[in-house]
């Protein structure tokens, strides 16, 4: 009888385990087929917007997303969580994680396949087209302490950046950037050290068509021009060309003007009307002098942390070989003008650079901090012009663009002019920093609960069970 009871108990336990495993397997199968998530955060950081969900449904071919990040990067974990949500919406999205320090061979293969490979970026490949998203496009990060510790994400805009890139690849949205020619400007298709071939490559990597235009041969800027770049002209624009540029801006166009010092171009009056005045000087900052080079070489670290074009490079530095001041015009109306970067208080705008030695003259020179890059946006909603003027064109030339964060500054300025991140307007999300603050009494209560109460309850239950078995 006892033997039969033991056999029945074993069969009962085995059946219970079997059905328990069967139920767990069925729940797992249902969960896999019907992916349902619950986002308990106030900001909804773990929930995709309806715009993104609709876009991801349009992906009909395999989309490879190469995540080339150091796992120690502060945005690495949020990116993985975001991509997990994207993959859950469409199984054609294939995410590949690449550690740039360990997966060197894979990184080379990706470079051969996509013609691009860099650290701290995502490469999205779809139907032989690629889009590149850098970590500076994904999040706004606090600087932490003086050693860079305690850094944290203030705003996470990864969904906006990623979904904008995806829709560009799906719908084949491309922007056309025109470089003006005919006035000694830097050209985008040359590898010579003073030209802008490398800057052109940065634009092309972002699915941007790079073209050139001679405004003397064409009376107006082409309608497909998303951004007009005037890169270091050395001669004067004709009246017809000036009118064409002015009309383009008045009709809501975007322009990036790189205006070298001590050169008159004829565009100065157009800029004054738009709220920007280019100085007749050379900017000097002895406190940021680069060793072994001329004092006119600027080392800029002072970036506007509140402007979209420079907020993500506030901890960076750029090098400018020869620069003029670029100042807001206080008399202009109808335009919002912002200084994007400037020298320290020790810098000045030297109006007589031929003097030796060069010294500050408070009656003639412009006091520091001296702006060298200024943006202007029209307040006319019908024609929302975007304009950036930099007092130097050499910082993004082939010989200089690899220095420090020069490439990042050029990319950020062009992206802001193109309003690139706003292909999809998805609100940036703020990660929740939830803290549990307990006073001394509460800490003692938690300690006693964990050390004495809970183990005591377990011991009491075990003792009661032991007594029952004795009976």
Q: How far apart are CA 68 and CA 57, in angstroms?
A: 25
Q: How far apart are CA 138 and CA 152, in angstroms?
A: 13
Of the candidates 447, 429, 468, the one whose C-alpha atom is nearest the C-alpha of residue 154 is 429
Alpha helices, DSSP H only, in 156-292?
158-170, 197-205, 239-250, 268-273
* Main-chain phi, psi angles of 256, to 5 degrees: -120, 115
Q: How far apart are CA 451 and CA 447, in angstroms?
A: 6
To which residue do tokens 């970026």 refer?
Answer: 121
SS3 call for 156? strand
Residue 341 C-alpha from the chain's centroid: 17
To which residue do tokens 């300025």 refer?
Answer: 413
Residue 9, C-beta contacts closer than 8 angstroms, at least 6 positions apart: none
Contact 403, 198 (CB under 8 A): no
Distances in whole angstroms, Cα of residue 131 to Cα of each of 63, 128, 168: 11, 10, 8
Distances in whole angstroms, Cα of residue 442 to Cα of each of 101, 123, 448: 46, 49, 10
Q: How far apart are CA 263 and CA 48, in angstroms?
A: 51
Q: How many residues does the chain have?
A: 471
pLDDT of residue 36: 64
pLDDT of residue 168: 79
Residue 182, judged by CB atoms within 10 A of its CB (0-12, 13-18, 19+), counts as middle
pLDDT of residue 146: 47
Q: How far apart are CA 31 and CA 150, in angstroms?
A: 38
- The one-digit pLDDT tens for each residue of the chain (471 residues) are 677 777 877 888 888 888 888 888 888 777 766 666 666 666 666 778 777 888 888 888 899 999 998 888 888 888 998 999 899 888 899 999 999 888 888 888 888 877 676 778 888 988 878 888 887 778 777 665 545 555 777 778 888 888 888 887 887 666 789 999 999 999 998 889 999 999 998 888 766 889 999 998 888 899 889 999 999 999 999 999 999 999 999 999 999 999 999 999 999 999 999 999 999 999 998 887 776 567 778 889 999 988 888 887 887 889 998 899 999 998 888 899 999 999 999 998 988 877 777 788 888 888 889 999 999 999 776 778 999 999 999 999 999 998 888 988 998 899 889 876 555 555 556 666 666 677 888 888 888 888 988 888 988 888 888 888 776
Of the candidates 249, 192, 336, the one whose C-alpha atom is nearest the C-alpha of residue 257 is 249
To which residue do tokens 């779809």 refer?
Answer: 126
Q: Please give the model's pTM, rounded to 2 decimal places.
A: 0.64
Q: How far apart are CA 417 and CA 253, in angstroms?
A: 9
Query: Which of the four CATH numbers 3.30.980.10, 3.40.30.10, 3.90.1570.30, 1.20.120.420 does domain 50-170 have?
Result: 3.40.30.10
175-422, which class in CATH?
Answer: alpha beta
Q: How far apart are CA 123 and CA 8, in angstroms?
A: 60
């Amino acid at each position: 009888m006892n033997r039969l009871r033991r056999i029945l108990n074993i069969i009962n336990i085995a059946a219970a385990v079997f059905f328990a495993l069967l139920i767990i397997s069925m729940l797992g199968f249902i969960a896999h087929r019907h992916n349902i998530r619950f986002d308990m955060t106030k900001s909804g950081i773990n929930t995709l917007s309806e715009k993104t969900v609709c876009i991801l449904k349009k992906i009909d071919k395999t989309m490879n997303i190469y995540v080339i990040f150091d796992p120690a990067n502060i945005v690495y974990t949020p990116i993985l969580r975001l991509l997990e949500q994207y993959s859950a919406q469409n199984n054609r999205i294939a995410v590949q994680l690449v550690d740039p320090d360990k997966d060197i061979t894979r990184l080379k293969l990706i470079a051969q396949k996509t013609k691009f490979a860099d650290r701290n970026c995502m490469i999205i490949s779809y139907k032989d087209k690629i889009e590149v998203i850098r970590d500076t496009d994904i999040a706004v990060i606090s600087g932490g302490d003086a050693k860079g510790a305690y850094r944290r994400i203030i705003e996470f805009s990864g969904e906006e950046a990623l979904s904008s890139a995806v829709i560009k690849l799906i719908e084949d949205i491309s922007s056309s950037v025109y470089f003006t020619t005919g006035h000694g400007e830097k050209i985008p298709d040359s590898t010579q050290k003073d030209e802008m071939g490398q800057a052109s490559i940065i634009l092309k990597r972002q699915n941007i068509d790079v073209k050139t235009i001679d405004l003397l041969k064409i009376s107006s800027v082409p309608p497909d021009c998303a951004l007009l770049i005037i890169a270091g002209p050395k001669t004067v624009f004709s009246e017809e060309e000036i009118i064409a540029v002015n009309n383009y801006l008045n009709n809501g166009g975007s322009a990036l003007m790189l205006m070298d010092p001590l050169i008159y171009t004829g565009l100065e009056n157009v800029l004054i009307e738009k709220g920007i005045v280019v100085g007749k000087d050379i900017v000097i900052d002895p406190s940021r002098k680069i060793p072994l080079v001329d004092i006119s070489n600027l080392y800029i670290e002072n970036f506007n942390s509140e402007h979209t074009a420079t907020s993500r490079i506030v901890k960076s530095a750029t090098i400018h070989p020869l620069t003029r001041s670029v100042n807001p015009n206080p008399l202009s109306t109808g335009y919002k003008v912002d200084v994007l970067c400037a020298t320290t208080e020790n810098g000045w705008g030297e109006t007589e650079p031929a003097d030796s030695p060069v010294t500050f003259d408070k009656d003639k020179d412009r006091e520091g901090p001296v702006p060298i890059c200024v943006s202007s946006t029209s307040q006319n909603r019908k024609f929302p012009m975007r304009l950036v003027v930099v007092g130097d064109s050499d910082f993004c030339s082939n010989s200089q663009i690899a220095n420090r964060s020069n490439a990042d500054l050029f990319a950020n300025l062009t992206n802001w002019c193109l309003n690139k991140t706003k292909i999809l307007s998805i609100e940036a999300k703020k990660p929740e920093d939830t803290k549990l603050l307990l006073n001394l009494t509460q800490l003692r209560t938690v300690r006693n609960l964990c050390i004495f109460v809970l183990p005591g309850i377990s011991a009491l239950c075990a003792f009661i069970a032991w007594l029952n078995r004795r009976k």
